[in-house]
Amino acid sequence: MTAKFTFAYPDFFEKEAYPAFEKFWEVANRLFDALSLFTLDAGKPKEKHHFFIRSLCMMTGMSLHDVALLVGNGCGLSAVRIARTALESAINAEYLRLDPAECKDYLNWSHIEQHRKLKYMQAHNPTEFARLSPERVAENEKLYRRAIRSNFLSPNGKQRQSWCKFNLRERAEKTSFDDMYNTFYGVSSELMHGSFGGLAHHMESSTEGAWQPAVQPSMTGCSFALQVAHYCAFRALQTLVEMNGTDSTPPILDLKADYDCAWDEGHQP
C-alpha cells in the first residue's frame, strides 16, 4: 500500500501543504507499508470474522491515502468528509475485534440493504427489476425475513435502523475512540448535511459583512482532516496487531511515535 502522491496544484503542495505537514509526509509510507503487510499481503485470514476486520482496516488506510491527496491539493473540506469514513471504519473494525459475535449481524445486515435496493428498483425501475431472476429475488426475500426475525427486531417489534444495537457514539466509547469522535464527528456531520454550521466551516475570511468561501487550493480543513485520518489509520493498524497477536513492521510503538511527532503541539488542528 505504499503511496505515490500526484498533485494538481504542485506549487500549492510545495509552498504550503508540504511545509505545513512535513513530518506527516516523512512518515506516512511507513504506516501504509505496515497496513499492507496485515491486509493486502497477509494471505488467508485465520478466522472467518478476521476478513471483515481486515477489510475495514484496509479501507481506513485507503481513506488516509485519499485524504492525503486532497490535502496536498488544498481540498481540505472534502478531505474532512472522507476522514469521517475513516473514523467510522476504524471504530467498526475495533468494535468487531472486541466482540466477534457481532460479525454475524454485520454480515446479515447486507440482506436488509439488498432488500431495500430491490424494493426501490421494483417501485421506481420496474423494467430493470423484471430482468432479475425470480430465484434471486426469492432468495433475497428469504434471507431478509430470516435476518429480520433473528437479529434486527427491536423490543417494540420494529426493525432496527443499523446493523448494531449500539449507535456509532456508543461504539466509539466502547473502543476508546470517544475523544476523537466528540472532537470531530459533529464538525464532519455539519459539512456532510449542509447545515448552516457546515456552511460556516467553508468561510475562509470575511470583510464588512461579506464572506469569502475557501476555494481550492486552500488550507481550510486540511490539518483537521489529515490528523483524524492519520489517527484512524494508526488505530486500524493497532486493531490488526491485537487481532493477529503479533507486532507490525515497523513496530507499532515506532508508528505511534511517528504519529506523535507529526502532530506535536505545533501542528495541532
Q: How many domains is the chain built from?
A: 1
Q: Is residue 121 part of a domain?
A: no
Q: Is residue 160 part of a domain?
A: no
Q: Is residue 269 part of a domain?
A: no
8-22, 113-127, 201-215, 252-266: the lowest-pLDDT one: 201-215
Q: What pLDDT score does 262 carry? A: 96
Q: What percent of the chain has pLDDT over 70?
A: 88
Q: Is residue 263 part of a domain?
A: no
Dump pLDDT digits (tens) for 163-217: 999 999 999 999 999 999 999 988 887 777 666 665 666 666 556 666 677 777 8
Q: What pLDDT score does 52 carry? A: 93
Q: Is residue 119 part of a domain?
A: no
pTM: 0.88
Residue 242 sits in which domain range? Answer: 10-99+167-253
Q: What pLDDT score does 269 carry? A: 44
> CA end-to-end span of the chain, whole Å?
26
Q: Is residue 116 part of a domain?
A: no
Q: What pLDDT score does 152 carry? A: 82
Dump pLDDT digits (tens) for 88-120: 999 999 999 999 999 999 999 998 899 999 999
Q: Is residue 260 part of a domain?
A: no
The pLDDT-based confidence of 29 (bands split at 50, 70, 90) is very high
| DSSP output for the chain | -------S-HHHIIIIIHHHTHHHHHHHHHHHHHHHHHTTTS-S-SSHHHHHHHHHHHHHHHHHHHHHHHHHTTBHHHHHHHHHHHHHHHHHHHHHHH-GGGHHHHHHHHHHHHHHHHHHHHHH-HHHHHTS-HHHHHHHHHHHHHHHHHT-B-TTSPBPSSSSSS-HHHHHHHTT-HHHHHHHHHHHHHHHHT-HHHHHHTEEEEETTEEEE-PSSB-TTHHHHHHHHHHHHHHHHHHHHHHHTS--SS-HHHHHHHHHHHTSGGG--
Dump pLDDT digits (tens) for 129-155: 999 999 989 998 998 888 777 778 777
Q: What pLDDT score does 3 carry? A: 60
Q: Is residue 153 part of a domain?
A: no
